[in-house]
Structure 1
Amino acid sequence: MNDPLILFGLHTTLFELLAFVLSVTTVALNIRQNHWAWLFAIVSSAAYGVVFFNSRLYGDAGLQLVFMIVSVWGWYSWLHGAAAGAPAAGRPHQLAVSTLDRAGWLAAGAGWLLSYLVLAWFLRSYTNTDVPHTDAFLTAGSLVGQVLLSRKKLENWHAWIVVDVLYVGLYVYKGLLLTAVLYALFVAMAVAGLLAWRRTLVPLARPA
């Protein structure tokens, strides 16, 4: 599965190719707000965990395990999480798209910054990665994006657009060219997701 192969002139492996296909399927289902996206997210995260570990992207590799755990929570939240947020139209138990309030924006920003600082220290101190700060920053941003996605917050797409643009450069540098192409595709899909979710947005209730 990790033997090198060439696809359309790009050096890759069967594991990376499998993760590529599963990841595209995941995002496509996320755009459609289809809960089966979470199943594909779990499997694609497992596949990419192997790919990233072999490329010494330990922050990203560890993040895949976190993604698998968060995906279980996200799957449940999408199907039964309306008690903690707005219900989807015609589906009283399923969560609908909403936006962050000021406190939510601050929490997301603080979570990204704190996670970055902790991860950068850990990667510098305990691994042989050659990109500790970049790996840490994008890992932290991906975690924030995944949590926001789990709660169907529109801003998850903003986080993914920023993260995915930067990931393209990182994966080109690491020689994961197929994954770089994937993340360039993810940028376009994140923009599409932002527009699609905005059309179904349930606005925050304003105080009287």
Structure 2
Amino acid sequence: MCQYCGCHENTIIGRLADEHVELINLTGEMLRAVTASDSDHAGALALKARDILHPHTRAEEQGLFTALRAEEEAYGEAIDRLCGEHTMLDGLIDRIVAGELHLGEEFVHGLREHIDREENSLFPASVVTITDGDVWDRIEADDAAARGEAVSDEAGHSHGHSHSHGHGHGQSHSHEHTHGHTHGHSHSHDHSHRG
């Protein structure tokens, strides 16, 4: 999974990536339990994985994916593919929880490939493409709504947006906005007025 581009420092991306790690660990242990013919343990692990996966996929689709599609239509095809994979994975984990443990290997293989596509393509693209802190605020609200969570709009949350404007008249204005969540966007604009 991607660790080198810095996108995991973003609050939303970081949470989704942490859930990816948890899903990989749980389902890997689930497969080992299936191999050991420990169906009770495998079923319990599958249930835990489902309880993470279902709200996770809803949050991605209603939050990050919706915002990225609105910002850049070119990502629509990739997003549609990932949403289709969500439907497939959600269906498989439901069947595994219902007792079809033989589907575990197919599920884990599909999950790992899906996560690789998100973490090495869509997540970095999101951080580069979505540069407006207000959009990230909406993503966070939509993400929370998809999970059935409430979002507190407390002052002092840090989004880490740094804007510097050079106007070419020897004046430099630097603004640091802190709203509490670390989204880590840096924008610089150079407006040169030539007479």
TM-score computed with the length of structure 2 as normaliser? 0.36
Relative contact order: is structure 1 or structure 2 higher (C-alpha 8 Å, sep ≥ 6)? 2
Q: Of Structure 1 and Structure 2, which has the larger fraction of its residues in helix?
A: 1
| Normalised TM-score (structure 1) | 0.34
